[in-house]
Structure 1
């Protein structure tokens, strides 16, 4: 028997067999197939130049420096040892793995590895979020391992999050023995079926001989094209089976190889450059797809002087303190970023997917502009918004080509956007990011500004989901890619703390701060134990308002301030802070402090940063604050809210 591949756009092996039920092929998110329906819907042809991609970096490394196995050539070993060595051959040095009955063999094999460190999470969700934090902050694939059944299903939120935010994660799960699959055995879950639509690809390994190929394919798929999660499900008896591995097995993904994009035609790039030189009010709309193209993007902006509006996922691709930065656009973006898009005559949408939190009402989004959309994923072309020029390409290569044309022809001297930039600077002066100040109480926005100042904008920042997430996006001035880690598309509370763990492991010596809210923080508070045991220098800036702040904001704006289970404290003791987050930290041996007065905040944050190792700072903030600006869901720029709290006047 061979490894079962669960998605239909490409096959892993001619001898593959399937134990899965039949489900419709998923097209919209796949990087492998352009929907014929979408293709026909475009009045302008989509250019998607294709070529055989370069060999994976790990393969190149193997060719340059032969891998030294701890086993003798031809020596039989368990499938679990083959799996662990396959990870070693991919350059993996860290995994986030929680053991159980169906994955014990893998953990035993990990103890025999001299090069792989296991960071033991206290919950599988913490493990997969940590793997995401590792991948997001480093650009290298993150690896998590869980047992079968509930262990595997606890990975689901993280896999869905990685899928939506294009994060390369390889998840390995134990499974019941092959003969027991389909019998409702103890801790059996068909995790391949469960994760079919929230992974880029997944495998059920039914033959120990397939392990070397499957692992190579998994890492290749996870990191090539549009990155994403891949799951490998390995039955326990396959882990126990003894075999001699064949490391020379080639990757067998013909359908996938031939759909990976490369540089589009020079003629198309020339056409885009013509549009740029003709535009009077161009704007860059930059997303997470630009994180690997930051130098090329910066050079493009230098050559053209085009202002840059960034999505939540694209923060850091272009420095927010740059004079041409409009900061974030969208629902809680700056007024001037949204103004620029609304008034533009050319929208350069690079590495974006026209998410609803950015566009609001689609018909009114950039309605005056010609739209150029460049993205590596053909499924995103025309999915939400029809562009005038659509290009399926590696953005890094596309920008290199555009920059070369601009430089060779000296066209940058012919682009004069002075009047447009002054118009936008006027909007910046009229509508700066601002917030309410209090006499003694601490504004959450102010806390983030102080953190930005004291870290010189250099920290790696993770967040949970809610108001604190939006304030962290607005008031911390990110300088570089992979500095900002957040759950964007899925919006998964509980992400911040474990993501910070992954970032700290991947970036030794870096300042890593989890800016969190009390609602999100407590969802994975158990990972404080991981931080302490691993002695990771994660700093936690907890903005504690005793409420689900973002839900409260929506209650105020749209539900007449009717409170529906959004208070997280103890109703019997409303004057007390509940729960006492300091005691969670104390239980894990982590230094912690609480600050309630504005005058004490700066010294408290400095103390947090100066304390070696982990630290929790519980910052008590008012719950009445709203994240502004705000464009209501499915609204347009004309609906932007810039002041007030929406509460009923009594």
Structure 2
């Protein structure tokens, strides 16, 4: 059970303050008595405080403050700061539709995708998806990108959706085509990426006859039911007239709250049938959900908790991506004004510049020691924006998080709030609205205690300096270490660069060593933790955002799983860059078993060896340019030319970095957590 909060706002004895006090000047207690008459405190609807122009919502608590997590404690808020002028409301743009006549189901599907601004579909052709493939052949604005494996194609659709913010689409045939794609689809779904998977199906009149690749209970495997367990929605289309309704429902679900993957099984005869009329949106976004805006009272309470905190901390998850991409500069100004340190999850890495002195880096598995130290020393207000605090984000559910005495968690999905930590102020809302509200409240405000801010700034400077001083100096000679690779890659992660980090030891090294600054973006497949993901995702991302530099960071094990997708990049002239950490082992399990067995199994045991394949020749055989990196400093020499060639030649470039397999990855806590898992029996 959490001990009674030490935060004065939660205790009901907020530091006295008046709205007219000078900066740093003590204020009188009577100002607090005025809060009862404040509509924000009572949860009443107020004029808009946020830039979108929508009115602050009533929180529905009939006079109670937005702190229902404290049924036994009274909360007193200081009065809000007066606003100079209120934003005016704006009219909402109405949806518009066009009517198409005498089109096939496959053509109607492509019309919907075009309305979603989808310009690429990823997949593998097959007889049971032939009507859609033939429609794609005739379509001038949507390309069909044919991969080498359905799993890689699903990863491409995932990468495309992450890079563009649009719907990713994967099209595969029935039976094994659908089952092969399932890992990629599940990976996207667990990371809340909107992906539509279209799988073929035999004609309905053949159901139950044992037709080739039949995907029903009666004569094969029911792929629609299989997908139901790894998507937000999976449906079999059994007649043409219901198709428009089922497709619209799938698109609404993919773009809903939370976003996710959806699946439609489409029989060949249905795909070829004509529709007399079908309505299609004329503009993108018709099926996207409007996320709820945060009540002003709750945002104001969060703001005041942060403003009065002695040791505040803001935690950014991937759910804060849209908010930080649109208001990152304003958010940075806000946290600097109040000197609030910032940490991120793996998937939130780089949303806030890791070069900023307020950035403590990633807090989670393989994260920053600075972040761990600051949290471990005690935090009186922890604000979590857009993270469910799963195992990657919580450092294997570390007890360090219990050091936070007051927790604010913001997420549009109610079920994720409080699943790991007891939450004192839950805010079910769009993270963007909360960031906008904090920025607005912070414009006219001063820190509650200037002395605390000065002390916090000095502590953070000392913390950063101590950790920089303690950092190991990499040798300029000797074997190439993964830290060398990160150090030499980092200067090239600038501007509009997208980095797709695979699963394995490369995940830990990237998380621990790289320092990312926007607009550079980093993507991880943390939900399912799928090895091989980056090989396809970087292709889809580069196709979706061709103007961006696209780099995949992967291990040799992952490279061997989906490396054949290099031929896809060559065929479609995708200038992606691959940095491969090559130690000839399944390194994460090799080091994990070595650590858990207390050295009983040596690192050079061949049990997890990959057989020492020549990855340079493998990449070259698929049409890529490939380079071997064997010594410190060599990657720095090669990268400028490699990046130039990737853009100019529009050809994949592969850098195989032969690293020292003995270097221990920063996974100590993860290895310990697995080793200490309860045994059955």
- TM range, normalised to the smaller chain? 0.7 to 0.9
Given the superposition, is the C-alpha separation of residues 181 and 347 from structure 1 closer, same or farther in structure 2, using an over 3 Å criterion? farther
Question: In the alignment, which residue of structure 1 is the partner of 2:354?
Answer: 320
Q: CA deviation at 1:213?
A: 3.2
The 5 A counterparts of 1:253-332 are 261-294=291-324, 295=327, 297-332=331-366
Distance 2:497 2:479 in 1: 25
Q: Indicate yes or no: 2:389 matched with 1:354.
A: yes
CA shift for structure 1 position 438: 6.4
CA distance in 2, matches of 1:412, 1:99: 63
CA contact 2:508–2:667 (8 Å) conserved in 1: no
- Displacement of 1:600 after TM fit? 3.1
Query: Is the 8 Å Cα contact of residues 163 and 541 (structure 2) preserved in structure 1?
Result: yes
Q: In the TM superposition, what is the alpha-carbon distance from 1:179 to its structure 2 partner?
A: 3.8
Any idea what the Cα deviations from partners look like across 1:224-245, whole Å, max 9, x if unmatched? 3322111122122211222223
Q: Any unmatched runs of 5+ in structure 2?
A: 1-67, 72-89, 216-220, 677-681
Aligned positions of 1:39-438 closer than 5 A: 43-44=69-70, 60=95, 63=96, 74=101, 76-181=102-207, 185-187=211-213, 188=215, 189-247=221-279, 261-294=291-324, 295=327, 297-342=331-376, 343-359=378-394, 360-361=396-397, 363-410=399-446, 416-432=452-468, 434=472, 437=475
* Counterpart-to-counterpart distance in 1, 2:461 and 2:393: 21
Unaligned runs of 5+ in 1: 1-41, 46-53, 251-255, 571-577, 640-650
Does residue 548 of structure 2 align to residue 487 of structure 1?
A: no
TM-score calculated relative to the size of structure 1: 0.81
Tell me how far apart the structure 2 counterparts of residues 457 and 113 of structure 1 sit (CA, whole Å).
Answer: 34
Q: Is the 8 A contact 1:173 1:233 kept in 2?
A: yes
Task: Say whether 1:583 aligns with 2:617.
Answer: yes
Q: Conserved in 2, the CA contact under 8 Å of 1:341 and 1:347? A: no
Check the 8 A contact 2:338/2:446 in 1, yes or no.
no
Q: Distance in 2 between matches of 1:401 and 1:292?
A: 15
Preserved contact between residue 201 and residue 265 of structure 2 (Cα < 8 Å):
yes
C-alpha change, 1:291 and 1:460, in structure 2 (3 Å) is same
Query: Residue 568 and residue 133 in structure 1: after superposition, are their counterparts in 2 closer, same or farther (change >3 A)?
Result: same
Q: Deviations over 1:536-590 (max 9, x none)?
A: 11111111010111112212221133157653343xxxxxxx2111222221222
Superimposed CA distance per residue, residues 132-191 of structure 1 (whole angstroms, 9 cap, x where no aligned partner): 111111211211111111111112111221122111111111122234446654312322
In the TM superposition, what whole-angstrom CA distance separates every residue of 1:409-446 from its partner, at most 9, and x where no partner exists? 55588695232233233333333454754623112121
Distance 1:299 1:428, change over 3 A: closer
Matched with 2:608 is: 567
Q: Distance in 2 between matches of 1:321 and 1:338?
A: 18
Inter-partner Cα distance in structure 1 for 2:606 and 2:546: 40
Q: CA deviation at 1:597?
A: 1.9
Instruction: Spell out the pairing of 1:583-622 with structure 2 (5 A cutoff).
Output: 583-611=617-645, 612=649, 613-622=651-660
Does the C-alpha gap of structure 1 residues 55 and 480 become closer, same or farther in structure 2, counting only changes over 3 Å?
Answer: farther
Q: Alpha-carbon deviation of 1:270?
A: 1.9
Q: Deviations over 1:257-304 (max 9, x none)?
A: 9x9751222222222122112210011111100100101543542443
Which segment is superposed worse, 622-631 or 409-418? 409-418
Change in CA separation of 1:158 and 1:434 when aligned onto 2, cut-off 3 Å: farther
Equivalent pair of 1:212/1:245 in contact (CA under 8 Å) = no
Change (3 A) 1:510 1:174: same
1-structure distance, mates of 2:242, 2:519: 36
What is the Cα deviation at residue 120 of structure 1?
A: 1.1
Change (3 A) 1:479 1:215: farther
3-state SS in 2 of match to 1:344: coil
Distance 1:135 1:228 in 2: 11
Superposed CA offset, 1:195-235 (max 9, x none): 22321222222221233333333233222332211112212
Deviation readout 1:577-630 (Å, 9 max, x if unpaired):
x21112222212221121212243322333322323321111111001112374
How far apart in 2 are the matches of 1:321 and 1:195?
42
Check 1:280–1:456 CA distance in 2 against 1; reply closer, same or farther (3 A cut): same
Conserved? CA contact 2:512–2:666, under 8 Å: no
Alignment of 1:460-479 (within 5 A): 460-479=498-517
- Deviation string 1:503-547 (CA, Å, 9 cap, x unpaired) is 110111322111111001110011011011111111111110101
Measured in 2, the distance between the counterparts of 1:471 and 1:596 equals 18
Query: C-alpha distance in 2, partners of 1:265/1:288?
Result: 22
Does the CA-based 8 Å contact 2:366-2:511 persist in structure 1? no
Q: Is the 8 A contact 1:538 1:615 kept in 2?
A: yes
449-458 or 112-121: which moved more? 449-458
Aligned length: 565
Q: Distance in 1 between matches of 2:621 and 2:208?
A: 42
Rounded to whole Å, the distance in 2 between the matches of 1:90 and 1:223 is 11
What's the counterpart of residue 35 of structure 1?
Answer: none
- TM-score between both structures, scaled by the size of structure 2: 0.77
Q: Decide which structure has the larger Cα Rg and report it.
A: 2
Separation in structure 2 between the aligned mates of residue 201 and residue 300 of structure 1, nearest angstrom: 40
Query: The residue matched to 2:624 in structure 1 has which SS?
Result: coil
In 2, are the aligned partners of 1:87 and 1:215 still within 8 Å (CA)?
no
Q: Aligned pair in 2 of structure 1 residues 416, 632: CA closer, same or farther (>3 Å)? A: same
> What does residue 442 of structure 1 align with?
480
Deviations 1:461-494 (A, max 9, x none): 1122111122122333322367212211211000
Q: Report if the CA contact (8 A) 1:277-1:415 is conserved.
A: no
